[in-house]
Each structure stands twice: as C-alpha cells, then as structure tokens.
Amino acid sequence: MNAQFLAPDDPKWSDPETARFAVVPCPYEKTTSYMKGTENGPAKIIEASDQVEFFDSELGTQPAERGIYTLPACDYSKGTVSDWLNSTEQVFSDLFARKKFPLMLGGEHTISFPPIKAATKHHDISILHFDAHSDMRDTYHGDKYSHASVMRRVHEVVKHTYSVGIRAQCKEEREYLNANKSFGVLYDHERAKEGLSVERALKFLPTKKIYVTIDLDYYSPEVMPSVGTPVPGGGQWYETLHFLRGIFERREVIGADIVELRPDHDKRSDFLAAQLAYKLIAYATLGR
C-alpha cells in the first residue's frame, strides 16, 4: 500500500520543506458507539487517493503542484487519552507554526479536537462543521472525549461555529444550542428545503480564517454508506462542493479534517473521501 496521499510522481511535489499541504493520518478510535472500524479510515483514504486525478477538471489546474506531503500516521497504540490528544495537538501546532495547511484524516470525530485546539493557538478561527450529529453532549457515557462530545470541547476553545446537516441530536444539545447564539446550525431538514447558503453560513463565521471539519456521516448514506452511524437524509456531492467553494472564496481556510470513514467492501466511500480531501486542497489554492 502506498503511504502517501495522492503519491505525487514528481518528488518536488511532495517535498516537506516546500509543500503547502500536509496530510496527517490519525487512525484514532477509542469511543465509537455503533459500528467500529474508523481506525482503518486514513489508510483506506490514502489507498483510494491513488485513483484521484492530479488535474482538477472544475478548476482547470493541478493543485498537487503546490506540494502535498504525508506525515507518518499518529500512533495511538500505547498511552492515555490525554497523551494521544496532546501528541496529536503538537503535530498540528508544528505544522501551523511552519505555515502549512494541515489536512487531517481520521479516525473517529474526537480526533478533530487536537488540530482545532492547535489552530486556535496560531489563528483566530471559526469552525465550519459538517455532520449528521450535533456531537455537543457535555459527556457521553461519562466520557468528555467521546466522539459524541467533540463539538462541545471545540466550543471551549472557539467562539463561533456553524454546523451543517444536523439530523440527530438530543434535547440537551438543542437547549445548549438555543442558549448560545454564536453557534449556528443549518438543520438537515432546512438544507433539504432551502439548500446550502454561503451567505447564511458566513453570518456565523465572522473571523477571516476558518477551519473545516467534515464528519462523513454528514453525506447521504446513498453516496457515503461506509460510516459508523449512517442517518437518512444528508448532503449530496455537488451541492456540498459548491457550498465549500463559496466559503473558500470568501474566507481563508487554514486547515481541515475528514473523519469517521468506516471502510468496508464498498470502495465508493473510500474514493469519495479521497476525492473530497483533494477538493479541499484544490479550493485552498484558489486566489492563493
């Protein structure tokens, strides 16, 4: 298996010194509650990236020429939750300090917290969050670092967030959201009726810089079946890309992650995740 995302064939496209983009595999899985297997997500996305074209047919450019290198996968085999979160945060803090654009591949959603926390130490950011679930329980099964609590932890370090595609939440999460006006939500029934509006999203993303976290269960299970907790409804490929491009054109996206792929026999999910990863890289080159 190739260890590099996209495996650029020209070595100067994957030189860690000059590359603009750093892909970080984070195969973290400690609290998944339904179907397990997200720890295999990063390797499968990298494997599928072999089939992604360097040329972007929408932009008419080869974003890979800006340089993409892949770090060794973070190691979660030994240690404690706080060791894993701290060591992961350090990896991203170093990348932000070196002015790289990090793209994290998960892993369960908990592992979005370390890169976001690292980002807040280098940039004033708002978070654009795609997910079927709010992930805003204060704790889940007594665990503060459960996948179901990750956005609650994010709210301890970031003031403004906008969540898209939400269609599964508990009463506590709704009350918490209603009481906090700086956390915007586009519920999935609203997306289905009114579509994704860049203008509406930007009202909740007031900072110049944005970090994007994408839990793949945001997507419709028809296009993204291989997730731990699929929920009916959800976004489609192009409507989401058009929306993302609008955000990238209006704000500076400084980093992103794609989490919760649970690979199975259905390779279309792995490929969607790999193509999405490269689209994020492509959009990040717009105007820069």
Give the footprint of Mn ion on this chain (CB under 5 A): 109, 131, 133, 135, 215
Q: What is the DSSP string of 183-218?
A: EEEEEHHHHHHH---HHHHHHT--SSEEEEEEEGGG
Q: Six-digit token pair at 29?
A: 């899985």
| Inter-residue contact 120 to 162 (CB < 8 Å) | no
Cis status, amide bond into 107, omega within 30 of 0: yes
**CA angle, 153 then 187 then 24, to 5°:** 45
211 φ, ψ (degrees, to nearest 5): -115, 140
Strands 252-259 and 125-130: unpaired
C-alpha 79/C-alpha 90 separation (Å) is 15
108 φ, ψ (degrees, to nearest 5): -75, 165
